Structure 1
Amino acid sequence: MSVPSDRQRFAWVTLEAQEIIELKQAIMDRDSHDVVDFFWRIILPRAQESAQKRGISLEDDKESNGRISG
């Protein structure tokens, strides 16, 4: 099934309780390095997997400063 490229599509990324605690702690500590690491380690791979299941192409270029196209 093909979807027009101008239509936005969304997917939820589910986090486990321990991951939520880890992310919240990094945010409370204002540790941007840990938050960025969490994004690349946890969120992006799950977003890519979810997108792949739905036939959405994502770029994971670190040059994009963490922005995901799609």
Structure 2
Amino acid sequence: MKTEKRKLAIWMTMEAIEVIGLKRIVLDRDVAEAVGFFHAVIAPQVFATAERFGIHRVDVEETEDGRLPG
């Protein structure tokens, strides 16, 4: 019998200014700003949620290319 990995999903909340900033980044297709936004806004919320669920946190500094796995 094949076992499938359970996918986890979280709801994120953002302040209005963060939503506006994200929309600007998407419209401008600014890769550097997108990476900065991810590390400043998205990653901290994901890490906090993972910690609440007891999921191991992978530090970006531990990875070979500075990217999160998965």
TM range (shorter): 0.7 to 0.9
Gaps of 5+ in 1: 1-5
Q: How many residues align?
A: 63
Greater RCO, CA 8 A, separation 6+: 1
Aligned sequence identity (%): 33
Contact 1:58 1:68 (8 Å CA) reproduced: no
SS in 1 for 2:18: helix
**TM-score (norm: length of structure 1):** 0.73
Gaps of 5+ in 2: none
> Paired residue for 1:25?
24
Are 1:35 and 2:34 an aligned pair? yes
Could you tell me how far 1:68 is from its partner in structure 2? 4.4
Q: Determine which structure has more spread, i.e. the larger CA radius of gyration.
A: 2
AA partner of residue 23 (structure 2): K
